[in-house]
Chains A and B, each alone.
Chain A
Amino acid sequence: QVQLVQSGAEVKKPGASVKVSCKASAYIFDTYGISWLRQAPGQGLEWMGWITDYNGNINYAQKFQGRVTMTTDTSTSTAYMELRNLRSDDTAVYYCARDLEKYYGSASGVAFHIWGQGTMVRVSS
């Protein structure tokens, strides 16, 4: 069945970078976009950005512009999210989520349908 499997938990020091992977299976990877979202402990959901191989578009939330990079590797059906210059308030569970529908060219109008299991990233000195 369609699924997204994320990399394991990470512990990082302030100022470091983290790169989370999201491996897709059982569908044609470059026909659907993938969003990255996060959830701080006890808090709500926060959208970080979206990437698609369909037309190469990437949308980043303003809050993360300049600090996040989203990439894909179509050969391995894997999406990556790198967050740099980590701070303690970046401690959160990070999720990848696939679009509900194919061939969207921008993040507006997508629905976050298939979710990864989440990756806990803890930032602590």
Chain B
Amino acid sequence: QSVLTQPPSASGTPGQRVTISCSGSSSKFDFGSKFVYWYQQLPGTAPKLLMYRHNQRPSGVPDRFSGSKSGTSASLAISGLRPEDEADYYCAIWDDSLSEWVFGGGTQLTVL
């Protein structure tokens, strides 16, 4: 059971905007003090860094991808959805109490 909860699936049509949420598994989990990272994993490939420190994009990641957070959750938004965005998306944070990185269970995005 991960400390981070993501919806197992999401979907959208080309051109749409979709959001994927990532929330703490307990009410005392405070995103406010933590940086959130997002990774994209295309089928059969290694993951790719999509977003770091909530809303920073590495070089090469299009600005269709954006990240945000509130006190108890974080979100990844994808605008202008494309077929090649079909992938699994994972959020991750550094858990100070465990002194380790923890991942959400992943969200499988389908482009209809």
Contacts and interface: CB of A to CB of B under 8 A. Distances in A.
Interface of A: 35, 44-47, 59, 61-62, 95, 97, 100, 107-109, 111-113, 115-118
B46 A45 contact: no
B105 A112 contact: no
A45 B39 contact: yes
A116 B106 CA distance: 20
A19 to B, nearest CB: 20
Interface of B: 2, 35, 37, 39, 41, 46-49, 52-53, 58, 90, 92, 94, 96, 98-106
Minimum-distance CB pairs A-B, first 5: A47-B101, A115-B46, A111-B52, A108-B94, A61-B100
A112 B35 contact: no
A97 B41 CA distance: 14
Contacts of B46: 95, 115-118
Contacts, number: 60
Nearest to A50: B101
B107 to A, nearest CB: 10
A95 B47 contact: yes
- Among A107, A109, A111, A112, which residue has the most Cβ atoms of chain B within 10 A? A111
Nearest to B98: A62
Contacts of B41: 45
B47 A112 contact: yes
Contacts of B58: 100, 111, 113
A100 B50 CA distance: 11
Residue of A44, A109, A115 ringed by the most chain B CB atoms within 10 A: A44
Contact of B103 (A46, A95, A115): A46
Contact of A44 (B35, B37, B96, B104): B104
A6 to B, nearest CB: 10
B106 A45 contact: yes
Nearest to A117: B46
22 contacts: A44-B90, A44-B103, A44-B104, A45-B39, A45-B92, A45-B103, A47-B92, A47-B100, A47-B101, A47-B102, A47-B103, A59-B99, A59-B100, A61-B101, A62-B100, A107-B101, A111-B37, A111-B49, A112-B49, A113-B49, A115-B46, A116-B46
